[in-house]
Amino acid sequence: MTSELLDQALVEEATKKSGLIWVKGAGAPAARALWHAWHEGAACVVGDGPGEQSLAGLTDGGTAEVVVRGKDKGGRLVDWTATVSELAPGSPEWEATVAELKGKRLNASDGEAMTGRWARECRVLRLVPTGGLLPLPDGSLAEPPMPTPATTRQPIPAGLPRLLLKRRGRKRA
């Protein structure tokens, strides 16, 4: 009994203090980093709308694997399984959860109208721990990057370092 309570406390504290969690839904090719808020015993996430994070692979009634990393060094702290439940917009649970998420949302373009947009266009999910921890993996977990339309920068022009060093030299004199 005490082992279960310690596991539950570890999951809660580590997840509360982590800025991101890595979540892999059933059938998803890889885990995704999601910002979240811990509310009433679950990690709550919002997404799948314009300008919001993707919740691909997370379905209502499904399961997910959650990896929590530390803020200081980024090392893996704990892995746990969760059941996924989608909250109905406008329900009391949805309102309470969105109030928590709203405080964690950074750089929202629509400010106070954000919750209305979430109700119309997004999904709010609760990831409830099922109890017990997953064993930490052995070996490398390196995976290739996920496909993205983003590109890397072009090489810098050959003369740029000289120009930058010349400007620094003038400032010192």
Q: Is residue 64 part of a domain?
A: yes
Q: Is the pLDDT assigned to residue 162 strictly greater than 90?
A: no
Judge whether 90 lies within some domain: yes
166: confidence class by pLDDT, cuts 50, 70, 90: confident
Residue 148 maps to a domain: no
Express each pLDDT in 31-52 by its tens digit. 899 999 999 999 999 999 888 8
Whether 12 maps to a domain, the answer reads yes
Number of structural domains the chain divides into: 1
The C-alpha atoms of residue 81 and residue 64 are separated, in whole angstroms, by: 6
Residue with the bigger pLDDT between 152 and 125: it is 125
Cβ atoms of residues 146 and 77 within 8 Å: no
CATH of the domain at 17: 2.30.110.10
| Nearest Cα residue to 9 out of 54, 36, 31, 41 | 41
Predicted TM-score of the model (pTM): 0.77
Q: Which domain holds residue 60?
A: 2-137
Long-range contacts of residues 67-73, Cβ cutoff 8 Å, at least 24 apart: 67/21, 67/22, 67/23, 67/24, 67/31, 68/11, 68/14, 68/15, 68/18, 68/21, 68/22, 69/18, 69/20, 69/22, 70/14, 70/18, 71/17, 71/18, 71/19
The answer to the question of residue 98 being in a domain is yes
